[in-house]
Structure formats: structure tokens, C-alpha cells
Chains A and B, each alone.
Chain A
Amino acid sequence: MMRGPAGRIALAIVFAVLVASPLIIKRVTSRGERAKSRLSAQDALARHGFYLEEVSHAAGVNFVHQGPTLDPQLNHIMPQVASMGASVSIVDFDRDGWPDIYVTSSKEGTKNALYRNMHDGTFKDVAEEMGIADVNRSGTGVSMGAVWGDYDNDGYEDLLLIKWGKPELFHNDGGHSFTRVTEQVGLPQWINANTALWFDYDGDGLLDLFIGGYYSEDVDLWHLKNTKMMPDSFEYAKNGGRKYLFHNLGNGKFEEVSEKVGINSRRWALASAAADLRGTGHPDLFVANDYGVSELYFNDGKRFHEVGEQTGVGFAPKSGMNASFGDILNQGRYSVYVSNISEEGVLIQGNNLWVPKEGTNGSNLQYENLARDFGVEIGGWSFGAQFGDLNNDGTLDLYLTNGYVSLDHDRSYWYDFSKIAGGHSAIIIDAKNWPSMEGRSLSGYQTKHVWLNDGSGKFVDVAQAVGVTDRYDGRAVTFADLWNRGVLDVIVANQRGPLLIYKNTVTPENKWIEFALEGTKSNRSAIGAEVTVFWNGQQQKQEVSGGSGFAAQNQRRLHFGLGKSSQIEKVLIRWPCGTIQTIENPAVNQIHEVKEPS
């Protein structure tokens, strides 16, 4: 028994320490997590191996995204409802070997831009002359994203444009112009979509198309029948848009087969990505949903099976806004990064880094969320993110953009937002019940995150140090070696903000290799092809993607950093049709153009 004064004093001391423990933990964990101060280019290069310089103006890119103006019944919450649409995708539309940039705007009547790479450090907007600029006409909806894929295998990447409105497919006519083929291929009249991707789910050599709806497709956001179009729950909503899977029939037509193959969801999809997660040769599909759990569909080549809960990724509902894959531990296995919302003092969802559990694979594959352990958990109101080796040290780093609505610096909408988010579905579903924003910000002006991977399970945020200092409301992030220099440049689309081009300068000590693949039996875009590079006793796997992150698509070419190693043992390429190709000792610091063996 410790009833005496000494015992009481000891208890009080322990109690005081425990009460103070959150402050102690905060101090300890924040040490070394973030290099807060900006470094000079030379210091950043010496310390982190790279630095980023924003060069959009110098490159001739002066694109500013503009948001839509929806039905006046939404005026009181317009900034948050009209808070998406800035997207960016990378494509070499004219096959000149230099990446071009397609970027969307979302104000009615504004034009999208296709920036042709002029090979001299500058870009020129050719969207108008190509016929893919004027796509936001009143009554047709506005752009939300774009993904490129060569659906007819003619060698030129075609453009799928998703909208809150009528989706559009444009056929690329030899890199000289585009022809609208929306009606011929059978796309629906109206979808409120925020995510789409090209992938060959059945391995028939033809690219199929997945589109994920956000708002229900019977909602015309410019002419609301009523205001009950909001999610019916903040974390369990199932009144979102339907999902579409368009099977490519090969004759310029598509058949919608989602229900037939097991994709039947009305969650609020914001991001999707596909990769062969189990080594079956078939791409599995990951869908990150706002207002709910993520969904993971295992693909057996004919049907999809939703295994979110079984694999662990679909248990805790959050606000999924990104899906990207990366072999972050150089083990030949993909982790998945899903972005969510974290706002100090209000809502701490934390982003998810789903890492495959050791000892699980195939149909027993399971994931655990290691975002906290790896240091990539808290990213504000997170949106798009991508994995890529920014300093060519041989490990994949992570770039995350964020920020939701930046209006009045000093007034926040969070209190009102949290109030309505806690309400019953009958309240939350009706936009007229939402308090007016009145010019207030909602997680605005946030600092971005560039997490450097140390290769052993720790990421350190170096954004400020390497020059990423913008505070726009970031949406889409893409990586591309814009000037064929062997480095990944970063392109960021911001909501109601400028398109940013961060030109990357990497220490020349670090080597690299890139692969530009072209399918023959497989789809010609080689989407789904998997490249594993073996070097210096390690391996890294990457897959050609038909869309990933949030409203984004990286360059088709795969980029590998190699650190100081100047020799590669071998490279394995697994083509979507199953062919395995081995390249022994390829030269480093080169772009390798590889055609699928016929």
C-alpha cells in the first residue's frame, strides 16, 4: 500500500509526466523529420543530391487553372464544391521522343492546353490547332482530368478526357491533329468523373478503360433538380457516381462491362491506379474513395474481386484522394500511397502507405499501413502524389501536393465543416444545410512535401530545402524527364492556380537509366509492362501506367536512379502479353528504346 504522502507525491509526478507526454513525444518525433529552411542550390545538391527550380514562365508556360461556377443553389459553398479539375498528364503525342504536357482548365468556356515540347527548354501550346482545347463549352460540363493511351494500336497516343459532364475520346491522327470519336466508341452522355485510367485488364492486347464517378451521373451540377447531391455520409457514403469499365472490342468500339466483371460500387471515387500486385500477369485495380474506404479489385483476367477488407486497405474509412504504386523498399513489391485529410486539432486521418505484409502474397496478399513508421503520414489536406527517384540515388522518393481551398488567410471554415460532417446523413446530404463559407479558407496555403527515401524505411521531408516553396492548392502531380537529361522533373497542376514546372538538377555522381517501351503483341503503349532492374545486389520494379496519382499521368518512359553504381547486372521486362525479355548489362545514363519481341 502506498497511501502515505510519498506514494501520493510519486503518483502525482508520474501523472504530470504522462500529461506532458504528448508534448515530449511531439518534440522527439519532430526532430530531423523536416528540413525546414530553404537551402541554396549548391547546398541542396550537396546535402540531398538534387534541387528543384520552378521554371514555368521561362519555359513559356503561363497556364492558370480556373474553376467552374456551378448551380447558384451552391453559391454558399461554391469554393469547396468547385474545388477540383486541375489535372496534368504527360504524353509524347507526336512521337518525337520529347514529353509533352496536357493540362486542363475547368471554368466554362476556358480552354485546355497541350504544351508541345520544343526541345530547347520551352513549350508551345498547340491544343487549339490540334482540336483539343475548346472542350469546356457551356452545357457539356468541364474538364476534370485526362489520360492518354493508344487504344487502336496505331502508334499514337489517344486522349480520354473526363469531365463533370460528357466524357470525350479524341483519336490522335498521326500526331498532326485529333478527331473526336466519343459517339463512335459509345461513351455515356454524362458522368461526373474524377478518375480514369487505361489498362489492358484481359490481356488481349487492346487497352481498356476504367472511369470512376464522383457525383452521381444523374446530377447536372449546373442545373440541380434539388440540393440533395452531397455525400450521405462523411465516411460511409455510397451515393456517389457509378463505375465504368469499357472493354475495348478492337473495332473502334467499347462495351461497358463493369457489372459483368464484378465492379459495382457507388462510392465517391477520386483516384485509381492499376498494377499487377500479385504477379499473376493481370493488372489489379486500386480505387481511392472520398468519404469512405478504398477498394482493391483483384483481377483474374476475366473478373474482378473486391478484396479491400480482406487485404486490409478497405477497413478504416477516410477521404482517399490519391492512388500511386511504388517499390519503395527495392524488393520487387509495390506499396500503395493513398492521401487523406489531416488538419491539426480537427481531423487526423493520416495518409496511408500500404506496404505488403511479409509472408503474404498471391491471393493471400495483405497490406499494413506503415505511413507513420515511414514518416509520410501527415500531409495536410493531401491530394496528388507520385513515387519517383528524384535524386537518382536508387530509391523511390515521394512528392505530395496539398491544400484544399485557400481564400481568407485568417478565417477558417473548419469549425463549420466539422459540424456538418458529424451530422446524420439526412442533414449532410443536402447542400442547403451546409453553412456558408463566406470567403473562409479550408486547409489553405499549405506547405508541400517532398519526402526523400533513405532506402531503409524512412522518408525525410526536404521540400523547403530543395526549393518546393509554393503554397497553391495543389491537385495533380506528375513526373517526367522533360528535357531528356536523365532526371525526373515535377509538374504540378493547382486549383485556380498556375501550372508549375519544377526543373530538377541532380548530382552527376548518381547514375540513371530509362526505358521507353513499345508493345507489339501487347498494347502498343506498353501500359502494364513491368521492368525490373537488378544492380548492385538490389532490384527495383516499375510498371508502365495508364494513369495514377490524382488526375494525373506520368511519362510513359520508366526512369530508374542507380546511385553511384555504373553497372547493371540485368533488366527483366515482362510484357502485358506475358513475354519475358532479359537485357544483360545495359549501358547506364541512357534512354533505351525497347520494342516487344514479336
Chain B
Amino acid sequence: MSQQSIPMTPRQTVKPVAWKRFFSAENRYLAPILITCILVVGNLSFGMLESYKKTGLAIVASLLTEMILGRLFVGKWPNLSSAYITGISVGILVRSPAFWPYAICAIVSIMSKYVLRVKGRHIWNPSNFGISVLLFLAPETVASLSIQWGNYLLPMAVIWILGSIIIWRVRRFHITGTYVACFVVFAFLRSYLTGSPWQSEIAPLTGPMYQLFIFFMITDPKTTVRSTKWQCIVVGIIALVEMILRLSQVVYAPFYALFLVGPAALLIQMWRDSRRAVPARVAA
């Protein structure tokens, strides 16, 4: 059967079924829904949050900052789903007995989008920037979530399955998949190099910190490079840098690896784009 024999329907008239519309890249609320699921499942199953107040503070600070800065510097009320994800990530990932780190981290994360821009584009994942800065500058007050999903396999499995489906539907599973594969390979390599049990090298991947990291931070469309191939390469480099940091016993290696590699990859892409654009202009 040739391709021509197939009756063609105009693309715009195809109406996807409801669940496909829901689980699609066009649904801007998909990621907020997933991270809310992580929060709810994590907290109801074993009380993952430091406190409701602190998480609430991070979310509110994040939303308010986005609204104010969006209004002042873009001239319109922004869509708040990104700020909501940032706030909730900060609320889950930051562990501190004090309140101020939650507010500062959320505000700095959102502000980084408006301040640290190159050619009109922000280059750090907001929550990765805020959390990395805080972990680096306030180690006596702030740590990050470093615990596991209690005694229960089920909540972890639910998040992994749900997260994978959603990431697949929004066409970013290759990023998560590549990272996880690289992490596992490098974990065995670290185990070989250091003599540590391989289980202990794999262990971090089973915690909620990594679920947030692999489903939200490294897949952020705004701060990843354009092509699928390069997305995979970049995330592999992130895993490699993380391994190097881990060999130096850096506890928050994944955050710092993304902090270092993510913006560098974007800057290289911009530089390559600009080099391509110059001959094009000359030719014109």
C-alpha cells in the first residue's frame, strides 16, 4: 500500500482524545500536577515535608515574585505554573530549621530568570540556581532533602511510573532516560574505582530528591538545548560531571553538576547559532 492510497485528513481537523490532550506537551499544567502528586503522595505516606508552613512560604514567595516581576518587567501577568513548580521544588528540597531560607531561595530562584539572561533567555533552571546558591552560601543553615520514601516501595513506584508517562508524553523522556542510564553506569564505575558497594552508589537514585531532579530540573524546556541529540549529550555530560564531583565527595553533586553544565551548554548553543546567523546575513 502506497502512501498516496491513504486518505489524508487535514492535520488541524484531528481532535485528540481527552487523555491525550491532557498528557500532552501543550498542557502547561501537567508538570504542576505531577509535582503536586509527588508532594501529596510523599507527605501523606510518610510526612516528607519539613513543615506545611515552610513549603507554603516557598510557594507563596515564588508566586508573588513571579507576579511582581512579570508585571513590572514584561508588562503582563505571567502564567504561574513555572513559578508554582519552583516554589514547590524549593519547599520539598530545602531542609532547614529556619524559615528565611525557603523565602530567599524561592525569590532568588524566580529573580534569576529575570536577571541572569543572555540574548533574552534565562540560562539557569530557576530552582537549581536558588538551591545551589543556598547550599553553597549557607551550609550551616541549609541542607537538601536526602531521605528516602520511608519504608514504602509503592509511593516511589507511583511517582516513577506517573512521572515517566508524563515525561514521555511531553517528549522529554529521552533526557530523563539518558540521565538515569548514565547515572547507573557511572555508579558502577564509581563502585569499581572506590570499592564502595554498588548498592550505596545506586542508593541516591532511589530517593525523592532525584525524582525531582530528573523529572523537573534537567528536563526544563526553557533551560535545555534544542536538539534531541544534544539534549542527550548534555545530560550525559551532567551525569559525568556529577560523577567527578561525587568522586571528590561532594554531597550535592547533581545540583552543582547541572548548575555548571546546563548554562554552559546553552551558551555554546547560542554561540553556534550566532556563528551560523552571520554567514546567512552575509549571503543575504
Contact = CB atoms under 8 A, between A and B. Distances in A.
Interface string B201-231: 1111011010000000000000000000000
Contacts of A20: 137
Residue with the highest number of chain B CB atoms closer than 10 Å, among A236, A347, A372:
A236
A548 B32 CA distance: 47
A412 B248 CA distance: 12
Contact of B148 (A2, A11, A23, A422): A422
A366 to B, nearest CB: 14
Interface string A409-433: 0001011101111111111101011
Contact of A424 (B137, B143, B153, B197): B153
B147 A11 contact: no
Interface in B98-134: 98, 100-101, 104, 107-108, 111-112, 114-115, 133-134
B196 A18 contact: no
B77 interface: no
Contacts of A415: 246, 249-251
Contacts of A15: 108, 111-112, 115
Given A316-B50, A378-B140, A424-B148, A11 B200 contact: no
A317 interface: yes
B151 interface: yes
Contact of A22 (B50, B104, B196, B251): B104
A455 interface: no
A12 interface: yes
Contact of A348 (B143, B147, B150): B143
Contacts of A315: 47, 51
B72 A1 contact: yes
A316 B148 contact: no
B146 interface: yes
B138 A236 contact: no
A235 B51 contact: no
Given A7-B73, A233-B148, A423 B200 contact: yes
B116 to A, nearest CB: 8
Contact of B156 (A317, A421, A424): A424
A427 B151 contact: no
B104 A236 contact: no
Contacts of A425: 148, 150-151
B279 interface: no
Contact of B147 (A234, A346, A371, A426): A234
B218 to A, nearest CB: 18
Interface in B142-189: 142-143, 146-151, 153, 156
Nearest to A237: B151
Residue with the highest number of chain B CB atoms closer than 10 Å, among A347, A348, A349, A415:
A348
Contacts of A430: 199
B149 A423 contact: no
Interface residues on B, range: 35 or more
B135 interface: yes
A345 B148 contact: no
Given A15-B115, A25-B100, A344 B201 contact: no
Given A18-B104, A348-B96, A26 B141 contact: yes
A19 B108 CA distance: 7
A60 interface: no
Contacts of A371: 97
A436 interface: yes
A232 interface: yes
A348 B50 CA distance: 11
A378 B142 CA distance: 12
Contacts of B135: 345
B75 interface: yes
Given A2-B72, A415-B251, A420 B203 contact: yes
B143 A21 contact: no
A426 B207 CA distance: 12
Interface string A286-317: 00000000000000000000000000000111
B269 to A, nearest CB: 24
Contacts of A347: 95, 143, 146
B192 interface: no
A515 interface: no
A348 B153 CA distance: 26
B197 A433 contact: yes
B16 interface: no
Contact of A19 (B69, B133, B156): B133
Nearest to B197: A433
Nearest to B141: A348
A430 B97 CA distance: 30
B112 A435 contact: no
Contacts of B271: none
B90 to A, nearest CB: 14
Nearest to A372: B97
A372 B98 CA distance: 7
Contacts of A237: 151
Contacts of B73: 1-3, 7-8, 11
Contact of A414 (B97, B107, B147, B251): B251
Given A317-B47, A349-B97, A416-B196, 11 more contacts: A22-B104, A22-B141, A347-B146, A348-B143, A378-B140, A422-B203, A422-B204, A422-B209, A435-B194, A435-B200, A436-B196
**What are the 5 A-B residue pairs with the smallest beta carbon separation, nearest first?**
A423-B203, A345-B139, A350-B97, A22-B138, A415-B249
29 contacts: A3-B73, A11-B114, A15-B112, A19-B137, A22-B104, A22-B134, A235-B147, A236-B46, A236-B150, A237-B151, A238-B151, A317-B47, A345-B135, A346-B143, A346-B251, A350-B97, A372-B98, A419-B201, A419-B203, A422-B147, A423-B199, A424-B148, A424-B153, A424-B203, A424-B207, A427-B206, A433-B203, A435-B196, A435-B200
Interface of B: 46-47, 50-51, 69, 72-73, 75, 95-98, 100-101, 104, 107-108, 111-112, 114-115, 133-135, 137-143, 146-151, 153, 156, 194-197, 199-204, 206-207, 209, 246, 249-251
